[in-house]
Amino acid sequence: MKVLANDGISASGIAKLEAAGIEIHTEFIPQDQLISKINEIGYVGILVRSATKVRQDIIDACPDLKFIGRGGVGMDNIDVQYGRDKGLDVFNTPAASSQSVAELVMAHLYSLARNTFDSNREMPAKGASEFKVLKKKYAKGSELRGKTLGIIGFGRIGKSTATYALGAGMKVLAHDRGSSDGAVQWNIEGAGVVNVNVPMVSFEEIISTSDFISIHVPKQENGSAVITKNEISQMKDGVCLINAARGGVINEHDLIEALNTGKVKFAALDVFENEPTPREDLLKHEKLASTPHVGAATSEAQDRIGVELADQILSILQPA
């Protein structure tokens, strides 16, 4: 049996599948050639990350497919329910990358608090000639300890982010439209598991009281933004926003406007509306820290994702 991992899979995942006699192909096939190649080679399954889309046309035109797997959390690049209605197994790896995304959020939080994202741009160009000027410019950072982090969306990633923020001494509040469970297990090296209960509050309280806001929600079904000019107007002056979830959950036009006025002091984005060609005026904004959608891109996370994908494939193709 042959499986296409069109956006790649870790070596550990490949090894596990090959040991079970499953042939895994990792050579990328362009979107417009997928249907012909899947049928020509006879793939029984396709694995994707965020680059490849598996829509109704592929599902309808490739009757030998048995499953669609997504390495990661979000599944908005797959017609999930349609595939399941057609009898395919459609699955993802929601737990494997939670810690990696949470650590990137924390990296951005520290970077915004101390303005290192901008200092790192300015020092190579001006550090040798304007050292004292830059020292004065970046001498008004803030500590995370004692600040309030509001987390919108309190699933695995949101909860993992909460543990890191609590470790930094932050006050953490959370809101989740589908859950009121604020229970978090915090595994502290050398001390064991500590159970923490994060206060679950209203969306309005999150946006009006938080010093930093981190968003962890899926792409909305109607494509609307969760944070727009209206929500920003209710935030504290000088709030900092972080989005490592999905492009478009913060309205980028409204964000730029708020950065220009100072209502939003800084923002950090790992995801963008028009990936892989995000708007340049946003990327070049002096108050924006940015990364190219790498939240789950650690070697540890990719290893866990590959193994989890392999386990799920084996359960489908070689059930006990």
* Active site members: 246, 275, 293
How many angstroms separate the CA atoms of 212 and 144, rounded?
9
Helices assigned H by DSSP within the chain = 11-19, 34-41, 56-61, 80-85, 98-114, 116-126, 131-137, 156-167, 203-209, 229-233, 252-261, 280-283, 299-317
Collect all residues with Cβ–Cβ distance below 8 Å to 221 and sequence separation of at least 6. none
User: In one letter, which amino acid is 87?
Assistant: G
Count how many Cα atoms sit within 13 Å of the Cα of residue 301 in the half-sphere of its side chain. Answer: 22
How many angstroms separate the CA atoms of 108 and 115, rounded?
10
Q: How many CB atoms lie within 10 A of CB 163?
A: 21
Question: Which residues partner with 70 through β-bridges?
Answer: 48, 92
Size of the chain, expressed as the number of residues it contains: 320
Q: How many CB atoms lie within 10 A of CB 4?
A: 25
Query: Is the previous residue joined to 276 through a cis bond, with omega within 30 degrees of 0?
Result: yes
